[in-house]
């Protein structure tokens, strides 16, 4: 089997690993292996193939990877999950809400709740629509939705 083919197999293997790691390291190692394969294809000796492959990989990891990761992270919005999704969600008061206690329905679940003292301290009656301002432990801090 020719050295060029072996380098290309190594490049494909590195790119295959990159699919699972998504860290751009193995992709750049694959680029280095492919470059070494090109050197082998034009008849370069084995030591030159290795030097070129390792050099291209290291240069890519040192200089290309940080820039690429910065651009990828900037383009990917932060995904909110769990309780981070709840601020801004609306619910309905199941009991009178005060700054000390209350219960609401929120996304089909019953939550303990209390009024957010930074917004209002006026008690809210049963059935009033509310919006979550933040979560404190297992308690939703809410305020009433102003009618239009």
CA angle 107, 131, 75 (to 5 degrees): 80
Residue 148 has pLDDT above 50, yes or no: no
Is 88 in a helix, a strand, or coil? coil
Percent of the chain with pLDDT over 90: 72
Residue 81 has pLDDT above 80, yes or no: no
Say how many C-beta atoms besides its own lie within 10 A of residue 143's C-beta.
Answer: 19
Residue 118 has pLDDT above 50, yes or no: yes
Which domains are seen in the chain, by residue range?
Answer: 3-75 (no CATH), 82-144 (2.40.50.140)
Percent of the chain with pLDDT over 70: 94
């Amino acid at each position: 089997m020719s050295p060029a083919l072996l380098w290309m197999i190594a490049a494909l293997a590195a790119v295959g690993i990159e699919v699972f790691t998504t860290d751009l390291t193995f992709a750049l190692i694959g680029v280095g292996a492919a470059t070494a394969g090109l050197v082998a294809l034009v008849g370069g000796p084995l030591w030159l193939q290795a030097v070129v492959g390792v050099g291209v990989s290291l240069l890519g990891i040192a200089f290309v990877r940080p820039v690429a990761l910065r651009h990828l992270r900037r383009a990917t919005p932060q995904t909110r999950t769990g309780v981070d999704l709840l601020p801004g969600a609306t619910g309905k008061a199941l009991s009178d809400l005060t700054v000390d206690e209350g219960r609401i329905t929120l996304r089909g679940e019953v939550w303990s709740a209390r009024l957010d003292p930074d917004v209002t301290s006026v008690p809210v009656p049963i059935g009033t629509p509310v919006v979550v301002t933040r979560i404190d432990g297992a308690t939703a801090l809410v305020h009433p939705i102003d009618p239009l």
